[in-house]
Amino acid sequence: MNGSALINANPVVHERKERVTRREVHDSSAEPIDALEVFDHVRDIKDPEHPYSLEQLKVVTEEAITVDDKKSHVMVVFTPTVQHCSMATVIGLCIRVQLMRCLPPRFKIDIKVAPGSHASETAVNKQLNDKERIAAALENPNLSELVEDCLAPASY
Amino acid sequence: MGVDEMEMDVVQELEGHSDRVWSVAWRPGSGTSGRPAMLASCSGDKTVRVWQYNSSRDPFLPHWSCVAVLDGMHQRTIRSCEWSPDGRFLATASFDGTIAIWENVAGDFECVASLEGHENEVKSVTWNCSGTLLATCGRDKSVWIWELQPGNEFECISVLHGHSQDVKMVLWHPCEDVLVSASYDNSIKVWIEDKDTEDWVCAQTLSDSWGHTSTVWTVSFDASGHRLVSCSDDLTLKIWDSRNNLRSEGNLWKHLCTVSGYHDRTIFSVHWSKASGLIATGAGDDCIRIFSEEFNEESTLGGDPTYKMILKKERAHTTDVNCVRWHPQEASLLASAGDDGVVKIWKVASEILH
């Protein structure tokens, strides 16, 4: 992305889902992690180019998150706002970093773009699931700054 | 055919790295002819740790201890480390785009050279069998060959282009100057020196209908160098066979078999034991698996082998297993490295070793 040319100049902004205050349980570690909990971790991530959350842009939804707590597996399928969105890998990277920080280390995380939602679907998926490239990307100061920016608590 | 948890035990867990451990390397000749057994490990914490076996019988001392920490040279993750065949040098490849050469002088490790040239992350480094050539590869899609000159100088003698993506690993043949590279482009390439022009050329690309369908992470030769095993993000191992002259061009390597159905997540590492012939894998499902070669006695076709899993160690690490390496001589010893920052030394039961 260069200058002010936005990848998606006019995104559709959706209502945010009502927050569910979850009942506190005495032994929270015994409570299995579910899709809503994972959604809560990623819904407020900021879009790399708009002052909206991934939830508001319908990039992530609770329905597109699959969790198998017993098998320690999480799959997040996200939908880039446009077919040629060059920000798709950055968004996926943000989701992965956020989940790596929030979920117990036993979890295996797979991140994918929704089938048919991106012109370079296979390439984007491959990159987002190559942990060596993820590690290298996060050591890149510009990219990691961008990621931190998107993950910072926002006031929108 | 026991797939029994008891058949492989941890000798010791080596803790000290503060980030994921990417790879481990046994020092050649270590544990033999008076040389203490030595292992190097490299990590996202930008250091290499050298571990040594303590042969004293003092029961209060741990068997393995860290005898050196190599730091201050690399600004980013150290992805790979490899000893020269004589055990004198250790080469380290880093995401900072450089390769460092460390010389072991009476137990002190001193950085004697830093090789620059790759555009960005260097992913792997390997020494040829005579210790005269070094090969490196990285995200810039290239493979570099360096020649050791007098005075610890390394001169780049060839930059090889051919892969269309990130090159994950380079490995020299155990007894010939034949180089193999594995890539994110799903292919494996075999490189040889053209004797007439002295140029290094790609002799073969293993990527036909029998090839891997996703990233090839690691390759490993058997003791003879006539077989090669590769592991991939496509959840398979492939065995490649070469009975022809390795130095000539043409289709030297052919696909022998594909080992599938055993791994649930990416296979990051495979290593063929020179001592026992067993194949170990380390994968993204935290498991270490061991495979053995079996010949079907009733086969009338001259007996192409098959490869069967004989052991699966669940939860070998608490996270992904990034590297498995058999000890070069001591058939029962295996080292592994994980995202959990731990290096483990394993002892495999003698029944497994035949």
Query: Tokens 């000749």 identify what position?
Result: B29
- Of these ranges, A83-87, B61-65, B220-224, the one predicted with the greatest mean pLDDT is B220-224
> How many beta carbons lie within 10 A of that of residue A148, not counting itself?
12
In a domain, A79, yes or no: yes
**What proportions of chain B, in percent to the nearest 5, are helix, strand and coil?**
0, 50, 50
User: Any residues with CB less than 8 A from the CB of A49 and at least 6 apart, and which?
Assistant: A1, A6, A7, A8, A87
Angle between helix A88-102 and A35-42 (nearest 10): 120
Average pLDDT over residues B209-229: 96
In a domain, A156, yes or no: no
For A131-149, what is each residue's pLDDT tens digit?
999 999 999 999 999 999 9
**Where is average pLDDT lowest: A1-10, B33-42, B202-211, B236-245?**
A1-10
Query: Tokens 């920052």 identify what position?
Result: B341
In a domain, A55, yes or no: yes
Tell me whether A104 touches chain B (CB under 8 Å). Answer: no
Read off the tokens for A69: 């707590």
In a domain, A12, yes or no: no
Ramachandran angles phi, psi of B59, nearest 5°: -70, -15
For B319, the closest chain A residue by CA position comes to A106
What are the E-state strand segments in chain A? 65-68, 73-78, 108-113
Name which residue leads in pLDDT, A101 or A12.
Answer: A101
Domain count, chain A: 1
pLDDT value, residue B79: 98
**Residue B217, H or E segment:** strand B216-221
Instruction: Decide if pLDDT at B337 tops 50.
Output: yes
Tell me whether A135 touches chain B (CB under 8 Å). Answer: yes
For A34-52, what is each residue's pLDDT tens digit?
999 999 999 999 999 899 9
pLDDT grade, residue B352 (50/70/90)?
A: confident
DSSP state of B6: G
Instruction: Decide if pLDDT at B244 tops 70.
Output: no
Average pLDDT over residues B107-134: 96
For B133-156, what is each residue's pLDDT tens digit?
999 999 999 999 999 999 989 999
- Cα(B239)–Cα(A66) distance, rounded to whole angstroms? 35
Question: Residues B210, B211, B214, CA angle at the centre, nearest 5°?
Answer: 140
Residue A111: give the domain boundaries: 35-149
CATH of residue A130: 3.30.300.130
Average pLDDT over residues B88-116: 95
pLDDT grade, residue A2 (50/70/90)?
A: very low
User: Any residues with CB less than 8 A from the CB of B220 and at least 6 apart, and which?
Assistant: B171, B228, B229, B270, B271, B272, B279
Tell me whether A13 touches chain B (CB under 8 Å). Answer: no
In a domain, A6, yes or no: no
By DSSP bridging, strand B216-221 and strand B64-70 are unpaired
pLDDT grade, residue B299 (50/70/90)?
A: low
Residues of B in contact with A106 (CB under 8 A): 318-319
pLDDT value, residue A27: 54
In a domain, A51, yes or no: yes
Q: Which of B20, B95, B339 sits opposite A136 (nearest CB)?
A: B95
First to last CA, chain A: 23
In a domain, A13, yes or no: no
By DSSP bridging, strand B227-232 and strand B267-272 are unpaired
Instruction: Decide if pLDDT at B273 tops 50.
Output: yes
| Burial (0-12, 13-18, 19+ Cβ within 10 Å), B157 | middle
Question: Distance, in angstroms, between B248 CA and closest chain A CA?
Answer: 34
In a domain, A124, yes or no: yes
Name which residue leads in pLDDT, B176 or A84.
Answer: B176
By DSSP bridging, strand A108-113 and strand A73-78 are parallel
Average pLDDT over residues B181-200: 95
Among residues B201, B261, B262, B252, which one has the least CA distance to residue B228? B252
Average pLDDT over residues A95-102: 96
Question: Of A75, A132, A144, which to mutate for an interface test with B (greatest number of B Cβ within 10 Å)?
Answer: A132
Instruction: Decide if pLDDT at B245 tops 80.
Output: no
